[in-house]
Amino acid sequence: QTQLVESGGGSVQAGGSLRLSCEASGRTNGIDCMGWFRQSPGKEREGVAFINTHTQTATYADPVKGRFTISQDSAQNTLFLQMNSLKPDDTANYYCAASNSNGACRRDPTAASTFNFWGQGTQVTVSS
């Protein structure tokens, strides 16, 4: 099993920045891809950013392109999401996710169904 714990959420004003972290523990050597999702009340969960842990290839959802950056520190088993130029629409609970299915990661690295390990989430609130 792989456990994921997010941190770094908080409240900021529009235009500000936050850096989310996701620490993985347990069985981490089999993780093939990781990602960040978010969900706000009344809205469906949406994918934000994704990374292939072997190739470091990153993929971003259109609303965050150019503003968010996903990265990983393999030595520390930690995933990051640097969020700049934050907007009120970015307000949500942000979840870290990981997958140990190389096939699923290659077929669709952005689908929620690809990921079989999830964190508890960290709240991000952006005020105007």
Cβ-count burial of 118 within 10 angstroms (0-12 exposed, 13-18 middle, 19+ buried)?
Answer: middle
Q: Which residue has the tokens 């950056």?
A: 69
How far is it, in rounded angstroms, from Cα 81 to Cα 95?
11
Name residue 60's amino acid.
Y
Cβ-count burial of 107 within 10 angstroms (0-12 exposed, 13-18 middle, 19+ buried)?
Answer: exposed
How far is it, in rounded angstroms, from Cα 90 to Cα 56?
24
pLDDT in tens, 16-59: 999 999 999 998 888 999 999 999 999 999 999 999 999 999 99
- Above 80 in pLDDT, residue 78? yes
pLDDT in tens, 85-125: 999 999 999 999 999 999 999 999 999 999 999 999 999 99
How far is it, in rounded angstroms, from Cα 40 to Cα 93?
6
How far is it, in rounded angstroms, from Cα 12 to Cα 49?
20
pLDDT at residue 76, rounded to an integer? 74
